[in-house]
Amino acid sequence: MKLITRNTDYAVRALCCIAEQKQEVISADRLVKSLDMPRPFLRKILQTLNKEGLLNSSMGKDGGFALALSPGKITLTDVMKIFQGPIRLNECKFKKSYCPYISDCLLKKKIDEIEKEVIAKLKAITIASIIKKEVNVDD
């Protein structure tokens, strides 16, 4: 099981890079150089973040991308949901359909408890906490 996909990782790195800039707008070219990512791949991620309301984009000579929200308001779970869908540790699938024992499963109840804790800890991680390198998920 992979908790963070490559798209989510790159999106978080891009958001952190934009948040760390003293200027409000950063060009896609500068992001490509700073993050050492393939331009088409990064462009697609930036467009998705813009479409989902985490970034604002502007065109033209001084155009680029800026955060649409403050870094403290963008959580890791926000980015994960955009690129990975709902966060699920256990989907209870059995031969491509739902398990017939889903309502009585003791293991599912335990995993659901763990899932709630994991999601709460992931929600506590914001872009601001990442760039400050003060990620404290035990609060």
The tens-digit pLDDT sequence of the chain (139 residues) is 578 999 999 999 999 999 998 668 999 889 999 999 999 999 999 999 999 999 999 888 888 999 999 999 999 999 999 999 988 877 776 656 677 777 788 888 888 899 999 999 999 999 999 998 644 444 4
Give the angle 50-51-57 at the CA atoms, nearest 5°: 30
Output DSSP code: residue 44. Answer: H
Predicted model pTM: 0.83
CB 14 within 8 Å of CB 26:
no
Q: How far apart are CA 54 and CA 73, in angstroms?
A: 10
Give the separation between CA 46 and CA 64, rounded to whole angstroms.
10
Tokens 């870094």 map to which residue? 71
Q: Is residue 50 within 8 Å of 67, Cβ to Cβ?
A: no
How is domain 6-131 classified at the CATH fold level?
Answer: Arc Repressor Mutant, subunit A (1.10.10)
Q: Are 121 and 105 in contact (CB under 8 A)?
A: no
Judge whether 111 and 87 are in contact, CB under 8 Å: no
